[in-house]
Structure 1
Amino acid sequence: MKPFRIRLTLILMALIGISMIGAGFTMAHLFKNSHVAALEENMSREIKLLSGTFQFQDMNGADAITYYTGQAERIAKLTNSRITFITKDGKVIGDSEKNPREMDNHSTREEEVIAAEEGIGRAIRYSNTLDQKMLYVAGAVVSDQGFDGFIRLSMDLKAVTEGLNRAWTIMAGGLILLFIAATFVSYKVASSMTSPLEQITRVARRITDLDYDARVPWKRKDEIGQLATAINVMADSLQTQLKTIRDNEDLLQSVLDNMTGGIVMINAEGEIALLNRASERLLDVDNSEMAGHSFRELKRHYELTKLVEEGVSRKEPIHEERSIYNPGERIVRLDGVPMIQDGTYRGMLFLLQEVTEIRALERMRSEFVANVSHELKTPVAAVKGFAETLLGGGVKDEKTANSFLQIIYDENERLNRLIGDILELSKIESKRVQLDCSPIHLIEFFDSVLETLSKVAEKKNISLSSNVPAELFIEGDEDKLRQIFMNLLSNAINYTHDGGSVKVTAMNHLKPDGTENVIFTVSDTGMGIPRKDLPRIFERFYRVDKARSRSSGGTGLGLSIVKHLVELHRGVISVESDLGIGSSFILELPLLQEEEE
């Protein structure tokens, strides 16, 4: 038997026992009160009967005590009770049990006091004369024969006590029988109650152990069934809420993991509560190692740590930028806001965003504006200067005047090329240029390009050649590809010494993933490019040899346009060069262009 079932059985038996004992005491009390009330009523009637039939004598007579004592003894034998005659002032003049002359004054006795006021007085008290508890009933009597006082009847309560003892004996036997029956009934009742409760308890424990599939199988209609239904509904609700919580946690974790900005959460105690993946990569730390530790342990990033400390101490929004080194210099923008919930400060939340490229772009934009201003200013100044000279009439020689006009024309052409290149580059960078792709037969394509540049090459006695498979085709925008190779080949011719060579090759290449590319190489035997200038060769307005570039009419934007057009074709471009030997520009373009969705 389960301990709970035993306890429940004992509780039920205790409740029944307490109920029976309480009922027994109540019945005994009622029995005693009713029996005493009946005795009092009978004794009151007997007093009234005596007051009407008794032969009274003058209570002040010489033989009054003898007369009333003898009468009291006679009447006591008939009524089986003690009879006492008492005067109005409390003097006993006759008693069936004791000599009246030896008895105390009874004027203060409770029953006489009540009888004097109400006619009949009753009291229960211990009698020192008879050495037992007695019931007293006194009645006020006035007789024409000279009696003015009280007749008191008293009776011991032995009979009442005996009746109560008999009742207790009966009740004790009943209690024993009832306890035997109650034990059996209590066990059955306890079993019917505890068995489903034990089942419900087992299910509740399983739910506590996070087994939310546990259910109570009971289908009863009573309170136990309602409890089982409530447990099952609770388990369903917990299961649904837990799934929602897990889904939200997964969603939140996914958001944090895929954010490009770093998130650092610091609690009110100054400990790191959360680092997302972006912040781990940016700070080169691990969330599992840093969580629960002070933010000051990010000591390798001193400037950033000092900024975080300032935000934590002030508990105010903060927006600053700092440089960190991991491994090279990286510019990080830090935005911090205090986390306040229900008026309570919960810590600080910091957003870390690397702005190195943004600042580089801003710097490039500033440099671009400065370079454009400079590049535009040079031809404009030349045109203005020579035009003013001609307009001022300072040149009389026609040959000199024509040379001035030629310079104005050349500078104007250069200015037009510069503006055209700027507009072209702007269109490409703003993604406003669309590719008009079609199949291109490369051998025919390069024959056309080389024929266009042949006159320029002939002037410097430079040999132009191509090595392109006859069967090779590529899909692309022919105009944009022509612009790419015209720029590269023109640069190669310009920076190659007289008598040198410029060559373009194309070959098919199969990548490991199964896609096909075409690799183009434009090589020359020119002066080459210094190694320090190679990383910046594709920047706008960047020139290796500024004087020669300007003399050749270059705008400084050609290679930047080439790079953007190559990337527009989903390709890549690189350069290899050795000073005094020559340079090679290598382009890798996909054989087929993917359709944009």
Structure 2
Amino acid sequence: MKKFRARLTLIFIILIGSSVLTAGIFMARMLQQSYIESLTASMERELRVIKATTDWRQSGSEPELFRFYSDRAAMLRASADARLTFIRSDGKVLGDSDHDPALMENHLEREEIREASASKLYGSAIRYSSTVQRNLLYVAVPLLEGENVTGYLRMAMSLEDVEGSIRQVWFVLTGMLLAVFVIAGLISYRVAYSVTRPIELITSVARQITDMNYKYRVQVNKRDEIGQLGHAINRMADSLELQMNRISEDENRLKSVLESMTSGVIMIDREGKIALLNRSAEEILGFSAKELLGKSFNQAKQQYEFTQLIQECIDVRDHIRDEVIFYYPKERILEINLNPIAEAGGEWEGLLIVLHDITAVRRLERMRSEFVANVSHELKTPIAAVKGFAETLLAGALNDKETARSFLQIIFDESERLNRLIGDILELSKIESKRIPLQFSPVHLEPFIGNCVHVMNTEAKKKGIELELNVDGDFYMEADEDRLRQILINLLSNGISYTPEGGRVRLKVEQLVSGKEVTEHDKVRFTIADTGIGIPKKDLPRIFERFYRVDKARSRSSGGTGLGLSIVKHLVELHKGTIRVESEVGVGTKFIIEMPLIHN
């Protein structure tokens, strides 16, 4: 813009300077022409006066004529202050005020002589005189006898005064021209600045808008075309800012939706290159967006079945749904939905892929099937026993009182077992569906733990098992008292059930505090350890599954339903706690529970 301003200023200076220079040249030419015309007219008048007062009919020899006319010319020069020359009709110089006529060449072809001869009035010419070495103005008048020219009277005056005047005019003109250039330069720069500055501001704002900075506006107070252009730029910037804000908001919403989706989303463009994938897709595929974006789908190191599905969708241009087992980065089952993308005109634009991780769904379906099978099996056993013994009684065993009493006892025990099983199933269902809200309250642990141990003391004494209690200090914790009692009694009951006679079950409670003041990060640890038969290492990962039993025969004989540890695990998690198990076959088992000391 500065270069444009300089060029505009230069153009203004050139235009103004050219105009002034042309006017000056024209004025100087007119002045010179006027001066010469005035001088020519004056010399013509003088020549006619001299012509009228001079006798031109002299006779004699050529030397006598030379002398006569030269003397006459010298006398007239003194009064006219100009060079005078007498020329015969054939061009011979008869007399000259400044030179010897005998030595002068013929003047018939001189411009002023030819003009005077032709016009019969006068002739004039300007030329450089090598004799006096300056420009001279020559004016000649013819001497007539009737229509015949008998000679010429010529006067010559120096143009030195005229040239001096012209030089002075040029000097003044040059000074004025320089002054005009300076003034014109200042005015031109000011005019150019007033024209280009708003354009410069508009250009700067347009550049900022191009760089996606829509906050800039043109500060133009003019109402001319430039002002209208500035206002138009401002309106355009307002519109662009509004539209870009909307686009940015929509883009952020779309990005938030994509990033928040648990399903993986992949977009493949018309050239078969990966154009977009969200965070879930990165986690599912095991590759980052930086590694996959811009690459062709068949060069992205993906599973063969997956790339084949993509190619099939590209070929058939129709929706495809399938389930594929992925083995990298870990084994999982994915539901893949491939949808072709087309513009309004039907032109192929690419492919949208949605990946759903249905591993958990399939696992839950399998667990549900196993649960149904386990429940059916568990229910079938006591029902079959009840039915069998009832049929036996109906067949005549009622008459034998001892046998009838024994059978009725078995029917009662199986009914109790069936009742416990149904109760545990309903309890677990409620806990898993979180339909049982926990009622947190301060629990004084020392008497609370003592009460739990006292409840189980009778059962422990039947097997000669020693119950040990160790509470580290007198403190409170926030918990649902009933559910915490259910957790501890269930684990103590398991320990007693699977510990041989004369064994030991120990319950230890300790406070895990990081500082002097209690915070939400502080925990309470419950450790229930027994000296029982232990759990094989291969069974430890599945110990908290529903109906999973390490020793199925012994579990049934002890009256267990196989749901106790699963209920415990869910109750611990509802308390935002963790439970883990350590065990060694033949040595014993240790359950370790950690719960927050206080809840938010």
Specify if TM > 0.5.
yes
Shift of 1:369: 0.9
With over 3 angstroms needed to count, the CA separation of the structure-2 counterparts of 1:213 and 1:455, relative to structure 1, is: closer
Partner residue, 1:323: 325
Confirm or deny that 1:369 pairs with 2:358.
Answer: no
SS in 2 for 1:282: helix
Partner residue, 2:118: none
Shift of 1:426: 1.0
Partner residue, 1:276: 278
Give the aligned residue type for 1:469. Answer: D
Give the aligned residue type for 1:331. Answer: I
**Structure 2: distance between partners of 1:375 and 1:504:** 31
With over 3 angstroms needed to count, the CA separation of the structure-2 counterparts of 1:450 and 1:207, relative to structure 1, is: closer
Confirm or deny that 1:540 pairs with 2:546.
Answer: yes
Please point out which of 566, 569, 574 is paired with 2:580: 574
Partner residue, 2:246: 244
Runs of 5+ in structure 1 lacking a partner?
14-179
Partner residue, 1:435: 438
Shift of 1:192: 5.9
With over 3 angstroms needed to count, the CA separation of the structure-2 counterparts of 1:442 and 1:188, relative to structure 1, is: closer
Partner residue, 1:549: 555
Shift of 1:559: 0.7
Shift of 1:485: 1.2
Contact (CA 8 Å) 2:397, 2:404: kept in 1 or not? Answer: no
**Structure 1: distance between partners of 2:435 and 2:492:** 26
Confirm or deny that 1:444 pairs with 2:447.
Answer: yes
Partner residue, 2:521: 515
Partner residue, 2:381: 378
Give the aligned residue type for 2:294. Answer: G
Give the aligned residue type for 1:316. Answer: D
SS in 2 for 1:519: strand
CA deviation string 1:103-122 (max 9, x = no partner): xxxxxxxxxxxxxxxxxxxx
**Structure 2: distance between partners of 1:325 and 1:529:** 31
Shift of 1:399: 1.8
**Structure 2: distance between partners of 1:474 and 1:213:** 57
Give the aligned residue type for 1:550. Answer: R
**Structure 1: distance between partners of 2:205 and 2:302:** 53
Contact (CA 8 Å) 2:9, 2:188: kept in 1 or not? Answer: no
Shift of 1:262: 1.0
With over 3 angstroms needed to count, the CA separation of the structure-2 counterparts of 1:192 and 1:299, relative to structure 1, is: closer
Give the aligned residue type for 1:465. Answer: E
Aligned positions of 1:306-321 closer than 5 A: 306-321=308-323
**Structure 2: distance between partners of 1:211 and 1:474:** 57
SS in 2 for 1:576: strand
What TM-score, normalized to structure 1? 0.67
**Structure 2: distance between partners of 1:384 and 1:433:** 35
Contact (CA 8 Å) 1:8, 1:190: kept in 2 or not? Answer: no
With over 3 angstroms needed to count, the CA separation of the structure-2 counterparts of 1:209 and 1:391, relative to structure 1, is: closer
Confirm or deny that 1:298 pairs with 2:304.
Answer: no
SS in 1 for 2:362: helix
With over 3 angstroms needed to count, the CA separation of the structure-2 counterparts of 1:187 and 1:568, relative to structure 1, is: closer
Give the paired residue count.
Answer: 428
**Structure 1: distance between partners of 2:276 and 2:358:** 22
**Structure 2: distance between partners of 1:383 and 1:576:** 38
**Structure 2: distance between partners of 1:230 and 1:243:** 20
Partner residue, 1:263: 265
**Structure 1: distance between partners of 2:575 and 2:538:** 28
SS in 2 for 1:367: helix
CA deviation string 1:183-224 (max 9, x = no partner): 999999877655543443343334334443443332111222
Shift of 1:400: 1.9
SS in 1 for 2:258: helix
Shift of 1:305: 2.2
Runs of 5+ in structure 2 lacking a partner?
17-179
Please point out which of 489, 497, 508 is paired with 1:486: 489
Contact (CA 8 Å) 2:473, 2:510: kept in 1 or not? Answer: no
SS in 2 for 1:428: helix
Contact (CA 8 Å) 1:525, 1:583: kept in 2 or not? Answer: yes
Partner residue, 1:401: 404
SS in 1 for 2:337: strand
Shift of 1:465: 1.4
With over 3 angstroms needed to count, the CA separation of the structure-2 counterparts of 1:467 and 1:224, relative to structure 1, is: same
**Structure 1: distance between partners of 2:597 and 2:427:** 25
With over 3 angstroms needed to count, the CA separation of the structure-2 counterparts of 1:296 and 1:8, relative to structure 1, is: farther
With over 3 angstroms needed to count, the CA separation of the structure-2 counterparts of 1:7 and 1:438, relative to structure 1, is: same
SS in 1 for 2:502: coil
Shift of 1:397: 3.1
Q: Cα RMSD between the aligned structures?
A: 2.9
Shift of 1:275: 1.3
Confirm or deny that 1:564 pairs with 2:570.
Answer: yes
Contact (CA 8 Å) 1:299, 1:305: kept in 2 or not? Answer: no
Shift of 1:251: 3.0
Confirm or deny that 1:287 pairs with 2:293.
Answer: no
Please point out which of 455, 460, 464 is paired with 2:458: 455
Shift of 1:371: 0.8
Contact (CA 8 Å) 1:386, 1:404: kept in 2 or not? Answer: yes
**Structure 2: distance between partners of 1:190 and 1:209:** 28
Q: Which runs of 4+ in 1 moved over 4 A?
A: 6-10, 183-195, 511-514
Contact (CA 8 Å) 1:337, 1:349: kept in 2 or not? Answer: yes
Contact (CA 8 Å) 1:303, 1:323: kept in 2 or not? Answer: no
Shift of 1:304: 2.1
Contact (CA 8 Å) 2:444, 2:475: kept in 1 or not? Answer: yes
Give the aligned residue type for 1:572. Answer: T
**Structure 2: distance between partners of 1:563 and 1:421:** 14
Give the aligned residue type for 1:448. Answer: N
CA deviation string 1:534-582 (max 9, x = no partner): 1111111111000100011111111111111111111111100000000
**Structure 2: distance between partners of 1:577 and 1:255:** 46
Partner residue, 2:504: 501
